[in-house]
Amino acid sequence: EGGRLLVVPIDGSHWLSMHPVVERLQQRGHDVVVVAPEINLRIHPSVLYNLKTYPVSYTREYVEAEF
């Protein structure tokens, strides 16, 4: 029996490690919502989860420079 899950990952390696877990949870019947900043490098929409974004005051260039 699946449940509803809210995932708030950090962009970068944290998300890369967490993405397979999110996929597996969806395959097991869970409804997954991922919340991420609208400017990020690796968190993208997917049929496996519902992506909700929120506005931020920084640019993609800033994020790329920080990583």
Q: What is the pLDDT of residues 28-39, one digit of tens each?
A: 999 999 999 999
CB neighbourhood size of 55 (10 A): 7
pLDDT band per the 50, 70, 90 thresholds, residue 61: very high
pLDDT band per the 50, 70, 90 thresholds, residue 63: confident
Residue 56 pLDDT greater than 80, yes or no: yes
The alpha carbon torsion through 61, 64, 65, 67 (nearest 10 deg) reads 160
Domain boundaries, given as residue ranges, for the chain: 4-66
Q: Are 49 and 22 in contact (CB under 8 A)?
A: yes
- Local structure of 48: helix, strand or coil: coil
The angle formed by the CA atoms of residues 44, 48 and 53, to the nearest 5 degrees, is 40
Q: What average pLDDT does this structure show over 8-37?
A: 93
